[in-house]
Structure 1
Amino acid sequence: MKVLRFHGKNIINGANSLEYLKQVSYKKAMIITGGKSMFRSGVIDKIKTYMEKPGCELKIHSGISKNPTKDQVMVALEEAREFKPETFIAVGGGSPLDAAKAVLLFYEFPELNFDNVFDKSLPTERTRTNFIAIPSTSGTASEVTHVSVITYPEKNLKLAIKTECLRPDLAIIDGNITMSLPAHIAAQTGMDALTHALESYINTNGDDFTDALAKEAIEGILEWLPVSCEQATLESRQKVHAFQCMAGMSFSNAGLGMVHGVSHAFGGLYNLAHGLGNAVILPYSMDYNKKDAAVAAKYKNLSKAVGSDIIEKVRELGRRIGIPACIKDAGVAEKDFQADFATLTENSMLGSTAVNPIKVSMDDMKKFVHCVYYGEKVDF
């Protein structure tokens, strides 16, 4: 028996769905967002307009970086404790959404903190707070997942806090919000979503429900992501926005794999953007995992659906939308990579690598990390 949960109470999907905020009741709401992009695009002003109600207070906390840290969460948490909201609204990319989840967890359950969050049995339900998530990028699907990924600078690690109470109550999937995304960000976040779908699809914890969501997301992203990057039409942005959400619903139930383990290792050490790391590593992982018979059969199924070899299709998409061929080309200095190699490989064995369909040995991981950095073929 398996319990599946794909999202919170509701998903509001479609262009202009941000207007749904007019229907939200609240007394005090705190918005958590990133830097300046949501202000420049006018999204924050729209939210303020839609939520303007007599006797209600709205507070904005900004400044969450692309890899949110413990310190950033704590600053936002102190502000929340002073303001005392009953509603949290996370708006932006996966980073402010993940940061808001950690703030929400420690705010509602003050006995929890970064020192003990991995040592305790975490609560599964919230009773004091409401949580609305509004993604501005089409990648992490944090708006429907129970996961918060936070960077621990003192450990050079990105670690995932997981519990059902982190899953937002309301997710708003409005393609209009993504229209200001530059092409390279649309590319990286879209490849992040494709990674979620592909890793979920081959995970041994998946089932018919997660496979169906993942497969539809894979086919949809392969079709619409190039259009989203090259033409930036509202239709293409809305399509990718929806497909990334479906990928999130799949992986939050089935799990991920080694791409995320390795990507978090590079992200934790070098502040490499998560979507970019996943995008680069993905085809290498597919070459590694295809030696498993069950994975190979699933790749064959996907190849039939998309009309060509799925691994080459992913590589071709990466080249087309400007994804670097290897981590070295993504900007990580060779001298740093060589100096940090032992730490990188150790950290790459953590997290989602543990649920990769092929159990990864340390010897294989050393070869794999070498290949993804230098762009060498994975043939072991």
Structure 2
Amino acid sequence: MVNRIILNEVSYHGFGAIESISSEVEKNKFKKAFICTDPGLIKAGAAKKITDVLDKANLEYLIFSDVQQNPTIENVKAGVEKFKESGADYIIAIGGGSAMDCAKAVAIIINNPEFSDVRSLEGVADTKNKCVPIIAVATTAGTAAEVTINYVITDAQKNRKFVCVDPHDMPIVAIVDPGMMMTMPKELTAATGMDALTHAIEGFTTKAAWEMTDMFHLKAIELIAKYLRKAVENDKEAKEKMALASYLAGMGFSNVGLGIVHSMAHPLGAFYGTPHGVANAIILPTVMEYNAEYTGEKFREIAKAFGIKHTRKMTPEEYRKAAVDAVKQLAHDVDIPENLKGIMDIKDLDFIAESALNDVCTGGNPRDTNLEEIKELYKKLL
């Protein structure tokens, strides 16, 4: 079996990393930036931190911020038209998953116009050309969109999200500057941190996992277990460690896929607007229990990464329970809801479950599933 790894050409990490943007622009001889971000980051001043860097270097740009929390087909279409009008030759995506996902779709369509029907990008699209060059600036420690070949778009007409997987959409530069994350509210820090944990655990246990990605995922789990609680309290070192953990998890799962935690979370975001990280965090322990017997000894390694002692002396039942309990405790400590009560309506179960089953992430789950089993998982969470 041949395993493939796709990563950024270059990435910058640590406080002050955003200052590297101007040198990368000059090195690549870019002329004008199309800045893709969202209204919240404009209001919070996060986008200004980047435009200040560009202004200092006398670099030209145009700002596009018509991006929703869950970017829609309409957002992408608007971005494509604005990019065409802008005269830009590269994109700076500033945000969490939303802005970056929208930017990736825009960048792909510009250089692959035969995919102008955004829905045609679902799954593994057979694009021929690399996207417009993207410099991705992370503002959350969770999505890892700055280092993945994945993006998620919402089809508002059909109340569904669809996942796109395309090696041609990888940002050429990733900027992981914890200074861009210091003003995140506690609830967003918690939700995005649990999203990163879900990436790490699902990537570690997915069918395609192998030694190199296991290395990334286990280190990410270890860092998240140690630092997420402190990051929620805005501890500076913890914020930096969580930014690294998110990136590490992205390095892994982008190359091996995810599982049904994400499959089940996506329709909740599309149908109810549930924050993606919150949905993942609620679903994760239940799916871990469902998958446990199909993951070999990997739950032993997860428990160990959480700092649990004497895992080598534990039976499979003991270390599996220890891993699940550690995830539940972390979610509880950062105030994640315990179930889907008040989030999901049982009357929507058929539609939600069918959407989950058909999600591109389902195929990577370590345990093969079916519609009835997914329905039972949702019911258990209610």
Q: Same fold (TM over 0.5)?
A: yes
Indicate yes or no: 2:366 matched with 1:366: no
Indicate yes or no: 2:36 matched with 1:32: yes
Identify the residue that residue 343 of structure 2 maps to in structure 1. 332
Verify the 8 A CA contact 2:124 2:166 in the aligned structure 1.
no
Identify the residue that residue 237 of structure 1 maps to in structure 2. 239
Indicate yes or no: 2:333 matched with 1:320: yes
Aligned AA (1:327): L
Identify the residue that residue 11 of structure 1 maps to in structure 2. 11
Number of aligned positions between the proteins: 363
Verify the 8 A CA contact 1:124 1:164 in the aligned structure 2.
no
Aligned AA (1:236): A
Verify the 8 A CA contact 1:64 1:96 in the aligned structure 2.
yes
Q: Structure 1 residues 54 and 306 mapped into 2: Cα distance closer, same or farther (>3 Å)?
A: closer
Q: Distance in 2 between the 1:124 and 1:256 partners?
A: 25
Q: Distance in 2 between the 1:291 and 1:111 partners?
A: 44
Verify the 8 A CA contact 1:221 1:240 in the aligned structure 2.
yes
Within 5 Å, give how 1:140-155 maps onto structure 2: 140-155=143-158
Identify the residue that residue 181 of structure 1 maps to in structure 2. 184
Q: State which drifts further: 115-124 or 96-105.
A: 115-124
Aligned AA (1:362): L
Q: Distance in 2 between the 1:39 and 1:263 partners?
A: 27
Query: Counterpart of 2:120 in 1: which secondary structure?
Result: coil
Q: CA deviation at 1:116?
A: 3.1
Verify the 8 A CA contact 1:150 1:158 in the aligned structure 2.
yes
TM-score, reference length from structure 2: 0.91
Deviations 1:191-249 (A, max 9, x none): 0000000001011201100000000000110100000012x122111110111010011
Identify the residue that residue 136 of structure 2 maps to in structure 1. 133
Deviations 1:14-55 (A, max 9, x none): 11100101212221111000123x234433222122113787
Verify the 8 A CA contact 1:211 1:250 in the aligned structure 2.
yes
Aligned AA (2:349): F
Q: Structure 1 residues 63 and 311 mapped into 2: Cα distance closer, same or farther (>3 Å)?
A: same
Aligned AA (2:290): Y
Indicate yes or no: 2:92 matched with 1:81: no
Q: CA deviation at 1:142?
A: 0.4
Identify the residue that residue 276 of structure 2 maps to in structure 1. 274
Q: CA deviation at 1:89?
A: 0.5
Q: Which runs of 5+ in 2 are unaligned?
A: 309-321
Identify the residue that residue 356 of structure 1 maps to in structure 2. 365
- Is the helix fraction higher in 1 or 2? 2
Within 5 Å, give how 1:202-221 maps onto structure 2: 202-221=205-224
TM-score, reference length from structure 1: 0.91
Q: Distance in 2 between the 1:118 and 1:276 partners?
A: 24
Identify the residue that residue 174 of structure 2 maps to in structure 1. 171
Q: CA deviation at 1:359?
A: 0.4
Indicate yes or no: 2:246 matched with 1:249: no
Q: Distance in 2 between the 1:43 and 1:253 partners?
A: 29
| Residue 228 (structure 1) aligned to one of 224, 227, 231 | 231
Q: CA deviation at 1:341?
A: 1.2
Q: Structure 1 residues 4 and 195 mapped into 2: Cα distance closer, same or farther (>3 Å)?
A: same
Indicate yes or no: 2:351 matched with 1:343: yes
Q: CA deviation at 1:268?
A: 1.6
Q: Distance in 2 between the 1:91 and 1:54 partners?
A: 18
Q: Distance in 2 between the 1:268 and 1:27 partners?
A: 37
Aligned AA (2:256): A
Residue identity over aligned pairs, in percent, reads 32
Q: Distance in 2 between the 1:101 and 1:58 partners?
A: 18
Within 5 Å, give how 1:196-207 maps onto structure 2: 196-207=199-210
Identify the residue that residue 311 of structure 2 maps to in structure 1. none
Verify the 8 A CA contact 1:125 1:164 in the aligned structure 2.
no
Query: Counterpart of 2:335 in 1: which secondary structure?
Result: coil
Q: Structure 1 residues 9 and 119 mapped into 2: Cα distance closer, same or farther (>3 Å)?
A: closer
Indicate yes or no: 2:21 matched with 1:21: yes
Query: Counterpart of 2:100 in 1: which secondary structure?
Result: helix
Q: CA deviation at 1:120?
A: 8.5
Within 5 Å, give how 1:83-102 maps onto structure 2: 83-102=86-105
Q: Which runs of 5+ in 1 are unaligned?
A: 375-380
Q: CA deviation at 1:125?
A: 4.3
Aligned AA (1:107): I
Verify the 8 A CA contact 2:160 2:355 in the aligned structure 1.
yes
